[in-house]
Amino acid sequence: MNHIPEILAPAGDANSFLAAISAGADAVYCGLKHFSARMQAENFSVQELARLTTLAHDKDRKVYVAMNTLAKPGEESKAGRLIDRLARVVKPDALIIQDLGLAEVARQAGFKGELHLSTLANVSSPTALAVMPSLGVTRVVMPRELNVDEMRQMAEACPEGVALEAFVHGALCHNVSGRCWWSSFLGGKSGLRGRCVQPCRRVFSRKGQPGRYFSCQDLSLDVLAKALLTIPQVKAWKIEGRKKGPHYVYYATTAYRMLRDAPDDATTKKAALSYIEQALGRPTTHYTFLPQKPRNPVDSQAQTGSGQLIGRLTMSEARKYFVNPRQPLLPGDLLRLGYEDEPGHQVVRVTRSTPKGGRYDLTLMGKGRERPRAGMSVFLIDRREPQLSSRQNALESELARIPEVDAPESDFKLVVPKPFKAPRGVRAESIHVWRQPPKGPAKGAAGVWVSATKTQHLPLGRAAATWWWLPPVIWPNEEKDFQDILELILKRGGQRFVL
């Protein structure tokens, strides 16, 4: 018998939060101004989130707060004070964490809700789930990269009291679940700290041919999400998009609620697919969900910007810009001219209704900016249609009746273990890490990447002196092979491992 998972919707600001509630989301996840993996979203203050959470709880909806970045040394107490304020003022139903140390911080801060482990925490194989009860974790967000058979393997390994959460829709990272240093290297801003500048979305050149060789389409399981209804451990369908506007949140949430509630109804499925198409995201893919039919999420010559292409920029003889839209435009619509890395890129708000095929004259941003070129693609990236506006206004009226709350600063003090003291004689050393080590003894400290498929290259004769580097991700189908090779390394005296 199918179970009923919750629809978990994103919110990066109050308008998107209300859109999620309007669309029938069972739970909303959002971030604060600190410790969020989407720092480019507007995010919430403690006082603002407290009122929104009260509204959600009044409607029997849940609120999860994402604190899913790594805490740097010295930030643990700051995180603890924030969790203390959340526990006293906001009272969210769960925290979503990446840093395992925050589980203990939350416990000391008196947080009584659930702890959910972010996909950034790298729980990518079934055996890892056995550790969750000891950490106090009650839900694990699975990587988007898993196929449905691997999700079933994860479900079979779930300990009692631990549930799973699966992404059904939203952006795909070119690297595994956002664990990427590219933004740090190319833009100086850490994706692991929520400040990704998305270098994978840019145009690169290969053999003289420009293309978006790393820019992924969006994940959309759409009608395939029905398969998750047969996995009772999957308690939530998650929609990515905390940087998206209320239109996207409303349409994506509505679509997956329809697909969950009437998975076998052809008319409902058709309507849900239409909602997904109107959500103004990127072109979509089923990615690796079907193991027998995996899809490459990159089409280097296709457009992978968000929004719906509605026309091309035209310049009149009087050097005025206009567009003849392929669909009607509404006041308040947001249009993007070109891509974010194109010269002349701008975002323009529509001020009057324009019929399909009509002419809409564009008022561009001020002097000193590079002018867009004629022929540039024009995308509809957000809109506030009357139906959504009406629902939003009704919820805003309810929200206005919820009084402001005091959110006093916290005096929480974290109890930390005694710092580790290295024994005398231990010194820092540089390690040369090899994919395939040299045949003879290495000079100085040597490390080797552990491969479960190329065991013939592993220096097992020097196991005790070697630093063994494990890969960042071990997938379900690799788990047994890695267990075998690690047991062999341990038997040969290996005891230096880098995780």
Q: Does 42 fall in a domain? A: yes
Q: Does 188 fall in a domain? A: no
**Are 348 and 239 part of one and the same domain?**
no
Q: Does 295 fall in a domain? A: no
pLDDT confidence bin for 372, thresholds 50/70/90 = confident
Q: Does 206 fall in a domain? A: no
pLDDT at position 316, please?
83
Residue 251 token pair: 């349409």
**Are 112 and 130 part of one and the same domain?**
yes
pLDDT at position 128, please?
95
Q: How confident is the model over 92-133, as pLDDT tens digits?
A: 999 999 999 999 999 999 999 999 999 999 999 999 999 999
Integer Cα distance of 374 and 378 in angstroms: 11
**Are 324 and 276 part of one and the same domain?**
no
Q: How confident is the model over 427-438, as pLDDT tens digits?
A: 778 888 988 877
Does the structure show a pLDDT above 60 at 39?
Answer: no
pLDDT at position 366, please?
62
pLDDT at position 171, please?
93
Domain boundary, last residue among 382, 409, 441: 382
pLDDT at position 40, please?
55
Query: What is the pLDDT averaged over residues 271-289?
Result: 95
pLDDT at position 327, please?
93
Domain boundary, last residue among 350, 382, 414: 382
Integer Cα distance of 273 and 279 in angstroms: 10
Q: Does 64 fall in a domain? A: yes
Which among 481, 453, 498 is positioned nearest to 125, based on CA atoms? 481
State the residue range of the domain holding 248.
Answer: 6-172+216-280+389-400
Query: What is the pLDDT averaged over residues 390-397?
Result: 94
**Are 81 and 166 part of one and the same domain?**
yes
pLDDT confidence bin for 197, thresholds 50/70/90 = confident
Which range is most confident: 180-189, 260-269, 403-412? 260-269
Domain count, the chain: 3
**Are 129 and 244 part of one and the same domain?**
yes
Does the structure show a pLDDT above 80 at 444?
Answer: no
**Are 102 and 53 part of one and the same domain?**
yes
Does the structure show a pLDDT above 80 at 187?
Answer: no
CATH of the domain at 274: 3.20.20.70
**Are 40 and 55 part of one and the same domain?**
yes
Q: Does 187 fall in a domain? A: no
pLDDT at position 42, please?
59
Integer Cα distance of 344 and 371 in angstroms: 5
Which among 51, 37, 36 is positioned nearest to 395, based on CA atoms? 51
Average model confidence (pLDDT) across the chain: 91
Which among 278, 17, 54, 71 is positioned nearest to 194, based on CA atoms? 71
Does the structure show a pLDDT above 70 at 1?
Answer: no
Of 24-28, 155-159, 203-207, the range with the lowest mean pLDDT is: 203-207
Q: Does 299 fall in a domain? A: no
pTM score > 0.85 for this model?
A: yes
Which among 343, 334, 347 is positioned nearest to 380, based on CA atoms? 334
- Say if residues 214 and 204 touch (Cβ distance below 8 Å): yes
